[in-house]
Amino acid sequence: MKPYFAYLIILISAFTTSTLHGQQASEWISLFDGKTTDSLRGYKMSGFPNEAWTVEDGAPVAQRGVIEGLKVI
C-alpha cells in the first residue's frame, strides 16, 4: 500500500506543477540588446556607469583600472 501512496503524491505534485506553470505564460524581457546599455544601470546609481563599462562585439566589457561602477543591475 505504501508504494501506491507515494505514486499518488508524485502524480498530484506533477499535475499541480504543470497546471500552475501553464497559467504563468509570459514573454521574456531582454535587458541587454548587445548594442546599448539603455536598460541597465549601476548599483545604487540612477544611470549606467559608462566610464567603467563599454560594449564590444555585443558583450559588456569592464574597463581595467576602474573600481567604481562595476556593479550593474
Can you tell me which residue has the cell 503524491?
9
Helices then strands, each counted (H, E), the chain? 1, 2
Assess if residue 70 is contained within a domain.
no
Q: Could you tell me the residue range of the domain that residue 38 belongs to?
A: 2-62
Assess if residue 31 is contained within a domain.
yes
- Please give the tally of structural domains in the chain: 1
Instruction: With cut-offs at 50, 70 and 90, classify the pLDDT of residue 57.
Output: very high
- Which of the 8 DSSP states describes residue 42? B
Q: Tell me if 55 sits within 8 A of 72, measured CB to CB.
A: no
In angstroms, how far is CA 54 from the centroid of its own chain?
20
Assess if residue 72 is contained within a domain.
no
Does pTM surpass 0.75? no
Instruction: With cut-offs at 50, 70 and 90, classify the pLDDT of residue 20.
Output: low
Can you tell me which residue has the cell 505514486?
7
Assess if residue 67 is contained within a domain.
no
pLDDT digits (tens, 9 = 90+) for 25-43: 568 888 888 998 888 888 8
